[in-house]
């Protein structure tokens, strides 16, 4: 028998969080503060996965080096496969600048889309300016959450939920489609940058028959653990990952608000999953030589 807490921290199972956002896209905290929060949460590693950008990765890496916490360089790409949008995590990116350069065109498309959303909102009697949205995004990759924040600030809606439910969500009057990268092309881009392509939060859409052609298109892994998943999703996706030889991933998808279980380390992802990913990265890189 040991005393409660004896042997900490070694006896405490190490956990990681492989999905988090910063001010480089639609997160609230700067990359360095995301890494600080991960360190304070006691995580062994955190992945920075901003939407269509790796702009926050260099800062996150240097903060990780200062605090002795591992930072996994990543991004979350908006891709198309079939008739759906699928989010794809790039994890363990080696050529951070190279992949970021290739995503620039999608960030520009996000800017053009924000202009169209502004046009819609003005027509709908909710005057906002592109300038407000740009200042909300602070030079990072622009997304609907930045528009939502402006709608809240102007008092047009009470909160984010109302902004999406009434105006910005799919099928709502101010919804504008994004330019999406084809999934296969996105997987190639990620592989060329030395990373792994991991399908983000497939949830109930993650069925064997749907995922099989996506694996042939280049997927390396599945995010089996995510706050948006039901327990049944994690079980099913874990089985599919094993059958297709995919690595598992998981994370909180933290954007910085203290809402619900989308907080760092809420998913308690075991360090072993990261070790499996490291092995897969090594195999991939060896294969490319």
Residue 63 has a CB neighbour count (10 Å cut-off) of 20
Q: At what angle do helices 96-123 and 183-192 cross, to 10 degrees?
A: 140
Choices 18-26, 42-50, 158-166, 197-205 (CB under 5 A): range interacting with Zn ion: 18-26
Please, what is the minimum distance in Å from the beta carbon of residue 15 to ligand AMP?
23
Q: Which is nearer to ligand AMP, 50 or 240 (CB)?
A: 50
Q: Which residues bind ligand AMP (CB under 6 A)?
A: 26, 51, 143-145, 160-161, 164, 169, 178, 255
Contact (Cβ atoms closer than 8 angstroms) between residue 26 and residue 143: yes
Q: Which is nearer to ligand AMP, 69 or 77 (CB)?
A: 77
Contact pick of 19, 23, 24, 26 for Zn ion (by CB under 5 A): 26
Provide φ and ψ at 234, rounded to 5°.
-60, -40
Task: Decide if residue 265 touches Zn ion (CB under 5 A).
Answer: no
Q: Of these partners, ligand AMP, Fe ion, Zn ion, none, which one is at the site of residue 144 (CB under 5 to 8 Å by kind)? A: ligand AMP
Handedness of CA 270, 276, 277, 278 (dihedral sign): positive
Residue 58 and residue 266: Cα distance in Å, rounded?
25
Q: Of these partners, Fe ion, ligand AMP, Zn ion, none, which one is at the site of residue 160 (CB under 5 to 8 Å by kind)? A: ligand AMP
Q: Which is nearer to Zn ion, 194 or 251 (CB)?
A: 251
Task: Decide if residue 253 touches Fe ion (CB under 5 A).
Answer: yes
Task: Decide if residue 87 touches Fe ion (CB under 5 A).
Answer: yes
Residue 271 and residue 72: Cα distance in Å, rounded?
13
Please, what is the minimum distance in Å from the beta carbon of residue 277 to Zn ion?
22
Pairing of strands 196-199, 84-91: antiparallel
Choices 21-29, 37-45, 108-116, 205-213 (CB under 5 A): range interacting with Zn ion: 21-29
Residue 55 and residue 34: Cα distance in Å, rounded?
14
């Amino acid at each position: 028998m040991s005393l409660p807490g004896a042997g900490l921290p070694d006896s405490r199972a190490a956990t990681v969080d492989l999905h988090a956002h910063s001010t480089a896209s639609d997160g609230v905290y700067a990359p360095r503060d995301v890494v600080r929060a991960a360190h304070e949460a006691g995580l062994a590693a955190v992945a920075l996965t901003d939407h269509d950008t790796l702009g926050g990765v260099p800062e996150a890496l240097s903060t990780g080096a200062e605090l002795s916490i591992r930072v996994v360089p990543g991004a979350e790409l908006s891709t198309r496969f079939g008739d759906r949008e699928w989010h794809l995590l790039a994890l363990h990116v080696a050529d951070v600048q190279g992949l970021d350069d290739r995503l620039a065109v999608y960030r520009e498309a996000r800017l053009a889309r924000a202009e169209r959303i502004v046009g819609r909102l003005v027509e709908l009697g909710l005057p906002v300016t592109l300038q407000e949205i740009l200042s909300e995004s602070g030079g990072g990759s622009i997304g609907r959450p930045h528009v939502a924040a402006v709608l809240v600030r102007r008092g047009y809606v009470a909160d984010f939920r109302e902004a999406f439910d009434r105006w910005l969500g799919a099928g709502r009057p101010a919804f504008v489609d994004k330019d999406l990268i084809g999934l296969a092309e996105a997987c190639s881009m990620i592989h060329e940058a030395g990373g792994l392509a991991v399908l983000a939060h497939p949830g109930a859409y993650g069925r064997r028959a749907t995922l099989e052609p996506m694996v042939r298109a280049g997927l390396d892994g599945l995010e089996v653990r995510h706050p948006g998943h039901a327990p049944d999703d994690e079980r099913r996706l874990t089985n599919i990952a094993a059958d297709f030889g995919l690595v598992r991933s998981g994370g909180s998808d933290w954007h910085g608000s203290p809402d619900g279980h989308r907080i760092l380390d809420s998913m308690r992802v075991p360090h072993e999953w990261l070790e499996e990913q490291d092995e897969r990265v090594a195999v991939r890189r060896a294969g490319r030589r």
